C-alpha cells in the first residue's frame, strides 16, 4: 500500500484515539470479523481466507501494524465470501526500482500459474504462495526487518516452485526423423510460417470465460500476426474440460470463444474475419475421464486459413 494511504489511515486512527479515550486501537472489527468468519466458495478462496487471517492477526498483535492488519483482514473477508482476491499490485507499494522489478517478476510467476489452473490443481499451496507474496511486499516496503523480508520471500519462493512443479508439464515436442541435407535452393530460410500452420492456445480458469493476463498476452500476439500477415479467416474454437454436464460445457465453450472474438476485435481484428465455434468437452487436448478438472483442456484454439 502506498505510504500516503497508510499515513491517512494512521492519522485517522490517532484522531479517533483523542476523541475516544485512547481506545481506538482496541477495536478492529475487520480482524475480529475475519476471525469469526466461516469461509465459503472454492477450496482456494477458503484456504486464502485462512492465510490472510493468520497474516492479519500477526500484523495486529505481533507487529502492531494497524493499517496493514486492517488491509489484509479486508482481503481475507473478501476471500471468505468466495470473491476472487488477487496478490498485491506492485505499483501500490513504495519500492525501489530493483525491488519493483524483483517483486513484479515474482507476481508474474504467480499470475501465470493461476492462468494455468494452479488454484484448482493445488488450492492450499496457491493460497500460501499468494499470502507469502503479500507478506514479502508489505515487509519490503517497510524495508527494515530483514529477517521478516527474507522469511516471507523464501516461503513464497518455496511455494511458487512447488506450485509450478505441480502443474502439468507441456507435452514434449516430437523429434523429427533425420532427413537428407537440403540444397540452399530448396527452402527459403527467411520465409514466414504459412498462416495455415499457425496455432495459438488461450487457457481459462475452471468454470470461467474470463481472460487472464497470460491469455491477453497471447491475443496481443495473435493481433500482431494478423496485422503483419493477414489470413483469409480466423477460426476461434472454444473447449472445456470434462467437469460438469455436457450441455453446460457446450455453453461454456461458446462463451469462451465469444470472449476471445471480442478481445481480438478490441485489438483491431475485423469481426468478419473471425469464425467462432465450440466443441465443449468433445475434443480434449489431454484425455481424461469424466468429471476431471484438467487445466490444459480449458482453452480456446485459434487457427488461421
CATH of the domain at 294: 3.30.1330.60
Same domain, 16 and 88: yes
Among candidate residues 100, 171, 98, 159, the one with its CA nearest the CA of residue 133 = 159
What is the H or E stretch that residue 111 is in?
helix 97-115
**Residues above pLDDT 90, as percent of the chain:** 51
Q: How many residues does the chain have?
A: 305
Residue ranges making up the domain that contains 74: 3-166
**Residue 182 covered by a domain:** no
Which segments of the chain are extended strands (E)? 199-203, 234-239, 274-280, 299-304
Same domain, 153 and 207: no
**Residue 111 covered by a domain:** yes
Among candidate residues 216, 167, 226, the one with its CA nearest the CA of residue 192 = 226
Same domain, 31 and 138: yes
| Domain tally, the chain | 2
How many whole angstroms separate alpha carbon 121 and alpha carbon 302?
Answer: 25
- Report pLDDT digits (tens) over 88-126: 998 889 989 889 889 988 998 999 899 889 999 999 999
- Report pLDDT digits (tens) over 9-26: 333 443 333 333 443 334
Q: Is the pLDDT of residue 6 over 50?
A: no
Give the least confident one: 12-26, 121-135, 146-160, 201-215: 12-26
How many whole angstroms separate alpha carbon 228 and alpha carbon 217?
Answer: 17
What is the H or E stretch that residue 29 is in?
helix 29-36
Q: Work out whether the CA dihedral 298, 213, 165, 126 comes out positive or negative.
A: negative
Cell of 143: 524495508
Same domain, 100 and 215: no
pLDDT of residue 28: 59
Amino acid at each position: 500500500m502506498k505510504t500516503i494511504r497508510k499515513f491517512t489511515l494512521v492519522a485517522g486512527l490517532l484522531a479517533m484515539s483523542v476523541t475516544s479515550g485512547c481506545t481506538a486501537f482496541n477495536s478492529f472489527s475487520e480482524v475480529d470479523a475475519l476471525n469469526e468468519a466461516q469461509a465459503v466458495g472454492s477450496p482456494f478462496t477458503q484456504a486464502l481466507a485462512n492465510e490472510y487471517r493468520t497474516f492479519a492477526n500477526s500484523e495486529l498483535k505481533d507487529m502492531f501494524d494497524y493499517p496493514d492488519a486492517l488491509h489484509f483482514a479486508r482481503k481475507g473477508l473478501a476471500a471468505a465470501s468466495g470473491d476472487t482476491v488477487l496478490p498485491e499490485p506492485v505499483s501500490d507499494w513504495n519500492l525501489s526500482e530493483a525491488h519493483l522489478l524483483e517483486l513484479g517478476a515474482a507476481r508474474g510467476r504467480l499470475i501465470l500459474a493461476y492462468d494455468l489452473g494452479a488454484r484448482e490443481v493445488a488450492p492450499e499451496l496457491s493460497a500460501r504462495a499468494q499470502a507469502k507474496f503479500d507478506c514479502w511486499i508489505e515487509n519490503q516496503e517497510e524495508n527494515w526487518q530483514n529477517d521478516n523480508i527474507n522469511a516471507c520471500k523464501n516461503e513464497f519462493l518455496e511455494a511458487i516452485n512447488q506450485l509450478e512443479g505441480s502443474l502439468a508439464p507441456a507435452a514434449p515436442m516430437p523429434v523429427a526423423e533425420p532427413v537428407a541435407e537440403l540444397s540452399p535452393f530448396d527452402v527459403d530460410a527467411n520465409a514466414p510460417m504459412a498462416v495455415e500452420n499457425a496455432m495459438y492456445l488461450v487457457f481459462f480458469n475452471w468454470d470461467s470465460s474470463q481472460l487472464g493476463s497470460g491469455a491477453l498476452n497471447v491475443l496481443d500476439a495473435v493481433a500482431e500476426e494478423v496485422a503483419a500477415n493477414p489470413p483469409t479467416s480466423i477460426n476461434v474454437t472454444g473447449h472445456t474440460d470434462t467437469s460438469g454436464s455436457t450441455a453446460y460445457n457446450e455453453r461454456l465453450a461458446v462463451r469462451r470463444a465469444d470472449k476471445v472474438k471480442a478481445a481480438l476485435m478490441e485489438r483491431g481484428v475485423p469481426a468478419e474475419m473471425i469464425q467462432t465455434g465450440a466443441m465443449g468437452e468433445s475434443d480434449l487436448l489431454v484425455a481424461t475421464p469424466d468429471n476431471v478438472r484438467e487445466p490444459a483442456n480449458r482453452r480456446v484454439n485459434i487457427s488461421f486459413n
